[in-house]
Amino acid sequence: MKIIGIGNALVDILYRLDDEHLLSEIHLKKDAMTLINERWEHEIEDMTRHVDKSMANGGSISNTMVALARLEREVGFIGRVGDDEMGRFFEGKLCDAGVHTQLIRGREATGVAHTFVTPGGSRTFGTLLGEAYYLGPNDISEEMFRGYDLLHIEGYLVQNQELIETICQRAKQAGLILSLDLSSFNVVSKNRTYFHHLISDYIDIVFANEGEARAFTGNFDPQEQLRHIAHLCDLAVVKLGEHGSIAMLEGGRIYKCHAEYVENVVDTTAAGDYFAAGFLHALTRGHRLKKCLQVGTILATEAVQVMGSQLSPAAWNRIKTGIHCR
C-alpha cells in the first residue's frame, strides 16, 4: 500500500532550554502549539539570541512520511512552501529521504516552528505558518491522491475547516483510507465539535495522545477515551507516553503495548509522528494490532533519544532489526 500525507510544511528551529522560565517570558503555553505572527516571532528571535539552536525539517505529517520512507515505503507529501532557502531546505530533506513531493510554491516565506525543548524532553511550539497558511481548498484535487491507498492528515489543518473538508472529500472520492493525527490538545479543545463531525463522517483511523484524547472526549480514563473515539471510526489509537499505547477496532477488544525504558529522554518532538509511521507501516503490511503498537513503539523509542526528528543510519538499522525480531 502507498501512503500520502498532507500537512503544514515547516522548518523547525530547535532550542534546548535548561528550564521553563523563557517560555513564560515569550508567552508560550508549555507542551502546546501556539500560532504566532511576525511581531511575536521577532520577539522570540530577540529573546533567544544567546540560546543555542539548530534547524531541521518539521511538520507532523512530514516527519511521519520521512520515517515511512526510511522504512522503504512508497510515500508522498502535499504542502505549501515559499520560494526561498527554507523551502528548498524542506524539499531537499524530503527528497533525500525518498518522499515524493507535491509542493505548491507561493510568495510568502516558508513556515517555521520555533520548537522549545525543556528538561524531560517536553516540547513547546511557537509556529509561524508563513506560506503553509495559504494551503487552501483550490490547491486540492482528486488527482493528487491517485495511486495512493491511505492518506494521513494532521489535526492542525482543522483551523481551516473548508480546507480539511475538501481534503477528506477528494481523498474519499479517490478511494483512500483516511488517517488523522489529532496533533495538539489545545487545537482539539478549540475545535472539539468539528472534530466529532470530521471523524464520524470521514476518518477511518485516529491517533491521539492522552492529552488530546482527554480534550476530545472529556474523559480522564485512557481506555474510556479509546472506546469513545473507536465508536466514531474504524480504528482508534491512544499514545500514553511512558505508560505505552493502546488500540481498538470499533466494537473490538483493547490491545496494549508497554513503553520501552529510555534512560535519557532528550526530545519528544517527533515521538508521536514516528509512532504513527511505525504503526501505519505494520498495519498496511497486514499485521495484527499488537504488532502495530510494538512497531510504533520501536520508532518512538529511538525518536525521543535525539534532538529533533533526524535519526542516524545506526538508529534505522536498530529499528529495522527490532521490527524483524518482533
**Is residue 311, in this structure, part of any structural domain at all?**
yes
pLDDT of residue 325: 81
Those residues with Cβ within 8 angstroms of residue 273's Cβ, 6 or more apart along the chain or in another chain: 60, 61, 63, 64, 67, 181, 303, 309
**Is residue 33, in this structure, part of any structural domain at all?**
no
* Residue whose cell numbers read 525518498: 98
pLDDT of residue 307: 86
Average pLDDT value for residue range 297-311 = 93
Average pLDDT value for residue range 85-104 = 97
pLDDT of residue 183: 85
Domain that includes residue 232, residue range: 3-9+59-110+129-325
**Is residue 148, in this structure, part of any structural domain at all?**
yes
- Its pTM surpasses 0.85: yes
Under DSSP, the state recorded for 190 is: H
- Indicate the pLDDT class of residue 104, thresholds 50, 70 and 90: very high
Q: Name the residue among 48, 73, 47, 111 with its Cα closest to residue 276.
A: 73
Average pLDDT value for residue range 7-24 = 94
Task: Average the pLDDT over each of 59-63, 263-267, 283-287 and give the range with the smallest value.
Answer: 263-267
**Is residue 307, in this structure, part of any structural domain at all?**
yes
Choose between 33 and 110: higher pLDDT.
110
Based on the structure, what is the number of domains in the chain? 1
**Is residue 15, in this structure, part of any structural domain at all?**
no
- High-pLDDT (> 90) share of the chain, %: 90
CA separation, residue 222 to residues 25, 204, 244 (Å) = 33, 20, 11
**Is residue 74, in this structure, part of any structural domain at all?**
yes
Angstrom distance (rounded) from CA 315 to CA 172: 36
DSSP bridge partners of 126: 34, 114
* Residue whose cell numbers read 491517485: 146
- Indicate the pLDDT class of residue 121, thresholds 50, 70 and 90: confident
- High-pLDDT (> 70) share of the chain, %: 100
**Is residue 124, in this structure, part of any structural domain at all?**
no
CATH number, position 259: 3.40.1190.20
Under DSSP, the state recorded for 183 is: -
pLDDT (tens digit, 9 = 90+) per residue, 63-88? 999 999 999 999 999 999 999 999 99
- Indicate the pLDDT class of residue 206, thresholds 50, 70 and 90: very high
pLDDT (tens digit, 9 = 90+) per residue, 162-189? 999 999 999 999 999 999 999 889 999 9
**Is residue 222, in this structure, part of any structural domain at all?**
yes
pLDDT of residue 196: 97
CB distance 124 to 144 below 8 Å: no
